[in-house]
Structures are given as C-alpha cells and as structure tokens.
Amino acid sequence: MAVYTDVGDQELEAFIASYDIGYLTSFKGIAEGVENTNYLVHTDANPYILTLYEKRVHEEDLPYFLSLMEHLAARGITCPLPVRDREGRILRELAGRPAVLISFLEGVWIRRPDIVHCGELGKALANFHLAGLDFPMRRENDLSLSGWRSLFDDVRAAADSVIPGLRGVVADELDFLATQWNNDLPASVIHADLFPDNVFFLGDKLSGLIDFYFACNDMMAYDVAVCLNAWCFEPDASFNITKARALLQAYGQTRHLAENELTALPVLARGAALRFLLTRTYDLLNTDENALVKTKDPREYLRKLRFHQSVQSYRAYGLDSD
C-alpha cells in the first residue's frame, strides 16, 4: 500500500484538462499496490485510475505493458484500458513521473479466495494466455532463473538474518532448479504476478484482471505455478488440493495443459515459490523505513517452497493423469 508521489493542484488540473473526460470531481490516493502510486480520479462522467510509475517499473518497459492492456482488451479480456489524451498520447508525465490514466475496473479483490474463485481464476488465466499468443511485442522475464541468481547474490550475506538457514536453502534450491528448469514449454505473455489483489470479482464472478507490470514472455505453465502458490494455500500454510484442482481443471477446459507442462508443474511451482521468497527477502532487507509499505513475510514462501519440494508428481495438485 503506498502513495509515493503527491501531485500539485495546478499540475493535476492541467493534466485532467488535457483529456476529454469531463471535469474533476474527486482525487484520492489509493492504499493499494506496492510498486506504483495510484489515485482514484472521479470526473463528472466516470471514475479513472491515475498511475504514476515509481521504482522497479522501468520506463522503457511501459510501452509493452500499455500496449498489452490494449491488446488484451481488444480480445475481450476485461482489464483496465489506457485512456488517450486529446493528442492521442497514452504515456504522459506528471509530478516528474511517467503517468498513465486508465479506465476504472469494477470489482473487489477477494481477501480469502474460495474454490469457486480459484475456478474463475483458472479460466481467466487460460483466456489471458490465449489472448497473449499473438501479442507482437516481447519482454524477457527478468525474474526467472538468472534473475533469482542475482537476487540471491544481493541478499546472500544477510539472508540468515531474515530466516535462519535461508541462505543454504536458497543455494540448494537454485542448484536443483539449474538442473531441472525446462525453458521449452509453450510460451505466451504471462501475468507473472496474478495474486488475489490483482483479480477483481463482482459477487462470485471474475470481473477483471489488473496490474500488468510484471507481464513478460515466458512459459504459460509457470504462470499457473505462480497462481497455485498465490491462491491455493490456506492462512495456516497448508496446501488446499481442492482449490488447486478447481484452478487447474478450469484452466485446462479453456487451454489444454500438455503432459510435459503438467509434469513440469512441481518444478515450476518450486521456482515460483523461490521467486517470491527471494523478492520478499530482498524487500525486507532493502525497505527504507520511511517507505509507506508493509513488507510481506518471506517465511510464507519458504513454507510453500518446502511443500512443493515434497511433491512427487502433479497429482499432488489435484489432477489425475490423462
């Protein structure tokens, strides 16, 4: 949760006036999203989200993310749509930051997803992957195996101060993944961060996906593995196989998961767990104490990693073999 950049009145007024969206009636910082500054803007016509891009989002990546939203929306994926100003521009500058006005997406993110939400998510994720297949731009996943190695280099010395023994666990896991990671599975655009707070629902129906700022080109099954981690564990860290089954079955009904994707799932899930274990450890060690961000507990992802390490086959995720 964060508002990093405050926007001056006159700047804001001039900014809003450069769009054909009516006059400003409200402007409030939103306490969600840890990467960027988000304001909820009401005009007399509609609500919008104004995003100012902060650290971690590289400006050179913004055209990829913004074009992706337009691409997805054109293919029927419900997601925020960047609004063009009177000159047709999407990417602007405000308060010294890259800034984009996007459409407001109705829906509420689910704090405690249930089985029905996991099914909805699986279907939406598969549709997202299918819609991404013909997206013409490319962006590497800088938070895959080699990215984890550099993150580990950054946190290695202090890792055991975060969780005793963490350094050895991560070193061993990176060695394991180096021999097991298979980059040859079917790829598309992946969301790469599809946690519950990035998925909106109206009642029990999924109403849209948001926050594409980790999106990249990578294996679709890895995205599934991220979601298994993010959606299918209970607060007590136990794995909920029923939620996983709902997610995977709904995904598979929209986009068939090939046998080699299924076989790779346990390794992909270990990689996904390691990814969030490492970034959370990094954030904990590098958060300016003045930053208005609640750092997340890396231990949650160590427990998830240990679960996936114990998994013998994808059947542990609730699927029978074909």
Residues lying near a second copy in the complex (CB under 8 A): 1-3, 6-10, 12, 23-32, 40, 42, 47, 104, 106-108, 110-112, 202-203, 289-290, 292-294
Phi, psi of 99 (to 5 degrees): -140, 145
Burial of 203 from C-beta contacts in 10 A (0-12 / 13-18 / 19+): exposed
Pairwise CA distance, residues 94 & 14, whole Å: 10
If the CB atoms of residues 29 and 252 are measured against a second copy, the closer one turns out to be 29
- Give min distance, CB of 295 to a second copy, in A: 9
If the CB atoms of residues 27 and 176 are measured against a second copy, the closer one turns out to be 27
- Give min distance, CB of 296 to a second copy, in A: 13
- Give min distance, CB of 105 to a second copy, in A: 8
Pairwise CA distance, residues 308 & 271, whole Å: 9
Residues in the chain: 322
**280 close to 295: Cβ distance less than 8 angstroms:** yes
Phi, psi of 206 (to 5 degrees): -65, 130
- Give min distance, CB of 100 to a second copy, in A: 18
If the CB atoms of residues 67 and 207 are measured against a second copy, the closer one turns out to be 207
Pairwise CA distance, residues 7 & 196, whole Å: 29
- Give min distance, CB of 170 to a second copy, in A: 26
Integer CA distances (angstroms), 124 to 70, 182, 204, 256, 295, in order: 17, 25, 13, 14, 28
If the CB atoms of residues 34 and 90 are measured against a second copy, the closer one turns out to be 34
If the CB atoms of residues 12 and 319 are measured against a second copy, the closer one turns out to be 12
Longest dimension (CA), the chain: 62
Which structure tokens are listed for 212? 């594409």
If the CB atoms of residues 16 and 226 are measured against a second copy, the closer one turns out to be 16
Check the CA dihedral 145-146-151-157 and report its sign.
positive
**167 close to 175: Cβ distance less than 8 angstroms:** no
If the CB atoms of residues 117 and 275 are measured against a second copy, the closer one turns out to be 117
- Give min distance, CB of 228 to a second copy, in A: 21
- Give min distance, CB of 1 to a second copy, in A: 6
